Amino acid sequence: MIIQQRNQVEEAREFLESLLFSCNWKTTKVRGLKKEKKKKNKEEKGFLHRNSKLNARLTLY
């Protein structure tokens, strides 16, 4: 009986550890993806800003 309980506790612990690892891995991945998206948006905004400045200068001449 005690051996069965120990086995169940060990299995439960392993299961919870795997869930925790999976959750941590996913949140880390999501953070990484958010950073990439933010960086990409920043680059695009900078590019559009430079283009609009250039177009404004060209229309003045």
- Between CA 37 and CA 9 the distance in angstroms is 42
Look at residue 28 in the predicted model and tell me its pLDDT.
75
Query: pTM surpassing 0.95?
Result: no
Q: Is residue 14 part of a domain?
A: no
Domain count, the chain: 1
Look at residue 27 in the predicted model and tell me its pLDDT.
73
Q: Is residue 52 part of a domain?
A: yes
Look at residue 53 in the predicted model and tell me its pLDDT.
66
**Residue pLDDT, tens place only, 1-31:** 788 888 888 888 888 887 777 766 677 777 8
Residue of higher predicted confidence among 7 and 57: 7
Q: Is residue 5 part of a domain?
A: no
Look at residue 56 in the predicted model and tell me its pLDDT.
67
What b/e string do you get for 23-58 counting C-beta neighbours within 10 Å, with b at 16 or more? eeeeeeeeeeeeeeeeeeeeeeeeeeeeeeeeeeee
